[in-house]
Structure 1
Amino acid sequence: MSDQTVLVTGAAGFIGFHLSQLLLGQGHRVIGIDNHNDYYDPGLKSARESQLLGDACYTGIVGSVEDAGFLLDVFAKHRPDIVVHLAAQAGVRHSIENPRSYTQSNLIGSFELLEAARAHPPQHLLMASTSSVYGANTAMPYGELDKVDLPMSYYAATKKATEAMSHSYAHLFDIPTTIFRFFTVYGPWGRPDMSPYLFTQAILEGRPINVFNHGDMMRDFTYVGDLVRAIFLLFDAIPGQGATTEKDSLSPVAPWRVVNIGNGHPVQLGAFIEAIEQACGITAEKNMLPMQPGDVQATWAENRLLHALTGYTPQTEIGDGARAYVNWHRSYYGQQNAFREA
């Protein structure tokens, strides 16, 4: 349904920006919240949001979701039909160095969101989680009904906690809620702490790239355009309307379910690097390093539930996605460098 009001937290972030663009193109009104923090270059966030602000149907609000009462006021004023909660402190490795920021953004921020949804219930609340919650699980592919009791990082632990928090609110206050778990999202406008940026920037500058676990890792790389299309299609898959398959994660006591959004085809890290190299036209020099703390050896999404709910499966091939990222990287950072040198 078009012409709905959709609240997107983290709208100036990587995924929030792409989702907001898609929603505006579909005729929705978007209320975008972001605090433009300095976890990475705020200029990148401003550049993303500047494209959204050109649309009359977009309203940008600067604020932090963890601030008491902030989201309650936003919900009361705008009464969103759909809420997509993407605001979070991201990154597995950073959570080892600065766990307090994850407590504030991911736990307290999600609590504030749930309280606002309790006071002003939307038709559907969708909240971002991560494949990292599967932690030490070794059976592949990861299914939504698998236990997620062994997180390998504090980031994963906070995301698992927000899943549990949202289930309790869905049960107690009848808030239809969908949790979606991301799998290694990449694409244009990606964060500079993510591997596509780190690989591409080093390759273009003639520096070696760091390859962890000596390249013996598999990731279910998911193109950002596919991800946000899946999120959008889940708007109408409101929990509480009956299970769709025998493996549906629909809760027996709440209008709540969890859905994987992944390509469903794990790719060896070396193959992803090769796709970046081909897009750059340069072969990288590689520093082979051991596994970093908090990382897992492989991720692989079972995505049949997503298809059952939406009829959609992510489909972008790794070569096409890498090429789209590198083309954007050259354009964006080339312009930035030209501006600095002028």
Structure 2
Amino acid sequence: MQRLQSLLGVVVLLLFGFIFSVAPKKVRWRHVAWGMALQFILGLIILRWPFGRSVFECLAGKVATFLAFTDEGAGFVFGDLATVDRIFAFSVLPVILFFSFCVQILYYYGVMQWVVIKMGWFLQVTIGTTACESVNAAANIFLGQTEAPLLIKPFIPQMTKSELHAVLTGGFATVAGSVMAAYISFGVNPAHLLSASVMSAPAALAFSKLFYPETRKSKTNVKNIQIAKGEEANLLHAAMVGVTNAIPLVANIAANLVAFYAFIAFGSHVFDWTCTLAGAEEGTCSIEASFLRVETVLQHSLPKTNHVGVKVWTNHVGIKVQTNDKCTGGWMAYYIQVLNGS
């Protein structure tokens, strides 16, 4: 029954995309069918196939172990604030600096470019999307919404509106590598994050092509996209550029968390106060979460008897609608600790 609920949720989302499509008659169903099928196949490989699950869990474990070395640098600079007290600003945010440091080194040697091009080619061959949007979707698995389009920067002026829509959709559908690193430091299962990001890439292309189908011919293909290596003078220069580029992101995350958490607390207090005056029970500021509860249970196959799971998941959705993924990350870390009894 739960699987049928999930299937119904997928059908509802596809129907929603078709109804509000810019050009319903122009939808190329190969894009939609292959995108959804590829997501399903990746899900089977990663989550159901024992060998695939073992490989992915091993990879996720290695990633978590690698990122844990951030504690050495953070502990050297901040001491017990990072290693003992585990204060967010001194233990979680440094992970982003370390991750950006390493990614920029891979860019300098051309490793990231090679991986992205190969994955972009695979998406283009299977789903049938154009080169630029396929490369961007592949890049979004590892990079953020602002960094991934830089790989196709020379072609952006020539891209169609449908391709630009796919670029934006892919960025919203996946998790940036730096943010993923922060989530892992929150205590989120790395295997779940990696699998969700990988599976979201083809699904994002499918839904994008349903909502904004292509009506013009693309002027690019994968063979034309030549991505140069980093322009840094040497390895050390590349590493320093990576750290420097991550500083605004770290500052942005910290500022967002301070402001939005304060505002959420204020909104929650006002909402509870209003409910009290009306003689009702105290509610929650996650109004959107309450509204989406039935729909979320239906789409994500959460058992209606699992009240804790329903509340946690719907509140997560509601807070993300109200704020952003940075706030939900901190909120999610709190619930992980509560559910684990720590």
- The answer to whether the superposition gives a TM-score over 0.5 is no
The structure with higher relative contact order (CA 8 Å, sep 6+) is 2
Structure possessing the higher radius of gyration over alpha carbons: 2
Quick check: which one's helix share is greater? 2
Quick check: which one's strand share is greater? 1
TM-score by length of 1: 0.29
